[in-house]
């Protein structure tokens, strides 16, 4: 494998953030990825509940078979070692590929911190099991090599799941069908065919959507020592009861700080609003059957259930903490209340909304971690490079435009313009002759007949032009399809492949990546 890093599709904010613009970093407590900031964060006191948190994680991960490196990292966590953390919803069979790339980012950062700063940080992946956006995670895409197009594979596409995914029990038979479709779609992969039976056992031995996701991530990264944290666990929620209670008591302060901080940050960053929410509580409540955003009106908390006062809500929290969860405003806050974090690595949008939340951290006196943008990774195989070389294409933010230009140039150079001009000339003569015929004295009663006949001839000429252009395209179909394949594999629908395709499309068992270094540039992994 070869590695290339390129400046790609970075908006103005990301460019400013990457070069550590001080006018932006003040919204991140002036912390950046450098020796001084790392030392500052490492001096912070450790949460008192850290040992209890490690015990919960060990117990819950034990069911998936703890590896030696994972056990070592749980012990480090128990001792108060700080974490490098990132998270994501539980996508179908770990899809799309950027979920894997988030985890790879965590591992790269942990390695660099060990090598450059002599500190043993712990990689933690946070599964957002409380999320209820089923339509976002119930599908994946593969590139269909036979039909040379992107193909969507869904798990029960018409199913509505209004509850947290951590409560959803999947249909095992249907999940196996989806697995087979993905394996078939990914083509001749020895890795997948070798793992199929093991994945089927995972489907059979688990019950809930997030459990299966956990099992898959665990299997892929256990030897790297990845700690997997299920945010929707009942024991985790019990640990979080005092934190939820503080958020309930101070919901007004949190909301005011969020609104004020968001306005200040967005003006300085020159971006549109990232977090859109009308709630003033920023917490969810519900049951195993629904999930509702709380609001506060006239001294009562409103949800799908009967309105309750503060005491009633706290009693509900104590009885069923697993039915409470955070929205986008309070989730980062909860993360920092639970973990001793050194670095949070998130997507570009996450980095921006952490900036919008700076005032919330300040008001609640919760220190922020170092916030970094996760690595973006794209896979480029030998076939794609060969096609790009043939057509003089390079991976760049305007690559799709270049592909269209190349296709248009091919069509133009293989089109006989004189033939089309002759057809147009014939059409012009026919129109003139028919108009002369129609407008001759004494033929008024035949004008409709003459016009109809003229239109019939014009229609035939139009058909000739269309059919000729189609034949030209057919003669170039291999070249045109090759160009479409480049665009579709690297930037499907104008997005980086990692945001669309399933990670199993790319050869090799994750995380068999070469040695990587942290960067905000696009990392291109070229398969030899």
* Domain range list for the chain: 139-205, 382-505
From residue 360, give the alpha-carbon distance in Å to each of 54, 128, 247, 306, 343: 27, 21, 11, 29, 18
Q: Is the pTM of this model over 0.85?
A: yes
* 202 token code pair: 């995972």
Q: 287-304 burial, b for 16+ CB within 10 Å, e for fewer?
A: eeebbbbbbbeeeebbbe
Q: Which neighbouring-strand residues pair with 293?
A: 284
Strands (E), 199-340: 227-230, 283-286, 291-293, 295-297, 300-302, 325-326
- Count CB-CB contacts under 10 A for residue 422: 11
DSSP 208: B
Q: What is the CA radius of gyration of the chain?
A: 29
From residue 212, give the alpha-carbon distance in Å to each of 64, 209, 238: 10, 6, 23
CA–CA separation, 58 and 61 (whole Å): 5
Q: Which neighbouring-strand residues pair with 127?
A: 88, 230
CA dihedral 210, 213, 215, 220 (to 10 degrees): -150
Full pLDDT tens readout for the chain, 528 residues: 789 999 887 789 999 999 999 999 999 999 999 999 999 999 999 999 999 999 999 999 999 999 999 999 999 999 999 999 999 999 999 999 999 999 999 999 999 999 999 999 999 999 988 777 899 999 999 999 888 899 999 999 999 888 788 889 999 999 999 999 999 888 766 777 778 999 999 999 999 999 999 999 999 999 999 999 998 889 999 999 999 999 999 999 999 999 999 999 999 999 999 999 989 999 998 766 677 889 999 999 998 778 999 999 999 999 999 889 999 999 999 999 999 999 999 999 999 999 999 999 999 999 999 999 999 999 998 999 999 999 999 998 899 999 999 999 999 999 999 999 999 999 999 999 999 898 888 888 888 998 999 999 999 999 999 999 999 999 999 999 999 999 999 999 899 999 999 999 886 444 456 789 999 999 999 887
């Amino acid at each position: 494998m070869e590695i290339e890093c390129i400046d790609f599709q970075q908006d103005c904010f990301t460019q400013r953030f990457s070069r550590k613009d001080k006018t932006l970093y003040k919204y991140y407590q002036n912390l950046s990825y450098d020796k001084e900031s790392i030392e500052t964060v490492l001096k912070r006191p450790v949460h008192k509940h850290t040992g209890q948190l490690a015990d919960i994680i060990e117990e819950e991960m034990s069911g998936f078979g703890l590896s030696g490196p994972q056990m070592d990292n749980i012990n480090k966590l128990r001792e108060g070692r700080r974490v490098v953390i990132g998270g994501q919803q539980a996508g179908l069979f770990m899809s799309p590929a950027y979920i894997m790339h988030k985890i790879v980012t965590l591992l790269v950062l942990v390695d660099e911190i060990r090598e450059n700063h002599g500190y043993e940080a712990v990689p933690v992946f946070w599964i957002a099991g409380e999320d209820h956006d089923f339509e976002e995670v119930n599908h994946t895409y593969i590139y269909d090599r036979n039909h040379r197009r992107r193909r969507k594979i869904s798990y029960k596409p018409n199913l509505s799941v209004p509850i947290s995914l951590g409560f959803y029990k999947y249909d095992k038979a249907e999940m196996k069908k989806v697995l087979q479709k993905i394996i078939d779609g990914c083509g001749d992969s020895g890795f997948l065919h070798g793992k199929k039976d093991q994945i089927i056992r995972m489907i059979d031995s688990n019950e809930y959507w997030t459990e299966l996701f956990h099992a898959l991530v665990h299997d892929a990264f256990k030897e790297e020592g990845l700690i997997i944290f299920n945010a929707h666990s009942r024991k985790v929620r019990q640990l979080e009861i005092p934190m939820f209670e503080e958020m309930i008591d101070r919901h007004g302060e949190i909301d005011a700080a969020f609104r004020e901080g968001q306005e200040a940050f967005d003006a300085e960053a020159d971006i549109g609003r990232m977090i859109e929410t009308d709630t003033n509580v920023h917490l969810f409540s519900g049951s195993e059957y629904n999930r509702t955003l709380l609001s506060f009106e006239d001294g009562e908390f409103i949800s799908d259930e009967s309105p309750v006062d503060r005491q009633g809500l706290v009693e509900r929290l104590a009885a069923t903490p697993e039915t409470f969860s955070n929205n986008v405003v309070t989730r980062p806050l909860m993360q920092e209340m639970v973990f001793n974090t050194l670095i949070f690595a998130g997507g570009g949008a996450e980095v921006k909304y952490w900036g919008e939340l700076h005032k919330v951290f300040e008001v609640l006196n919760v220190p922020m971690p170092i916030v970094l943008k996760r690595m973006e990774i794209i896979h480029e195989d030998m076939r794609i490079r060969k096609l790009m070389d043939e057509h003089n294409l390079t991976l760049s933010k305007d690559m799709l435009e270049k592909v269209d230009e190349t296709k248009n140039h091919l069509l133009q150079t293989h089109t006989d313009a004189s033939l089309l001009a002759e057809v147009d000339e014939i059409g012009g003569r026919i129109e003139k002759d028919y108009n002369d015929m129609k407008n001759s004295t004494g033929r008024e009663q035949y004008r409709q007949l003459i016009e109809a006949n003229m239109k019939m001839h014009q229609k035939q000429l139009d058909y000739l032009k269309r059919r000729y252009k189609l034949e030209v395209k057919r003669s170039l179909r291999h070249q045109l399809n090759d160009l479409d394949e480049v665009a579709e594999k690297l930037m499907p629908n104008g997005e980086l492949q990692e945001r669309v395709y399933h990670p199993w499309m790319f050869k090799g068992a994750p995380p068999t990546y070469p040695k990587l270094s942290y960067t905000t540039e696009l990392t291109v992994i070229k398969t030899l």
